[in-house]
Amino acid sequence: MAGASTVVLTQANFDELVLKSKTPVLVDFWAEWCGPCRMISPLLEQIATDHQGKVLVGKVNVDQEQALASKYGIQSIPAFFIFKNGQVADQFVGAQHSRQSIEAKLGIS
């Protein structure tokens, strides 16, 4: 359920869109049945829209992309990973993060 500005990430496009990205990438590991995931989704949309070209916001559905979820050791969702230059620069879990704190972690505040 990616919105207009967020990108659906899959095993097929993850390397290209995330690991080879020139801009920071916020990856949201989520699932349809996860209430907190749905709760924070509009905030992620806003960040993606307001910072288009400066940051990529992508969503990995853990039910559909179990290999990716396993690769990054996802235990609970929503889980967020920030990739910079193909490396995990930061990670955090849960929907209790403010827009400001997420933007600060991305370096775009």
Q: Any catalytic annotation for residue 37?
A: yes
In angstroms, what CA-CA distances link 108 with 15, 46, 103?
A: 23, 13, 5
From the candidates 17, 25, 27, 37, give the one annotated as an active-site residue: 37
Which of the 8 DSSP states describes residue 24?
A: -
In whole angstroms, what separates CA 1 from the centre of its chain?
12
From the candidates 34, 56, 62, 79, give the one annotated as an active-site residue: 34
Q: Any catalytic annotation for residue 34?
A: yes
In whole angstroms, what separates CA 20 from the centre of its chain?
15
Residues marked as catalytic: 34, 37
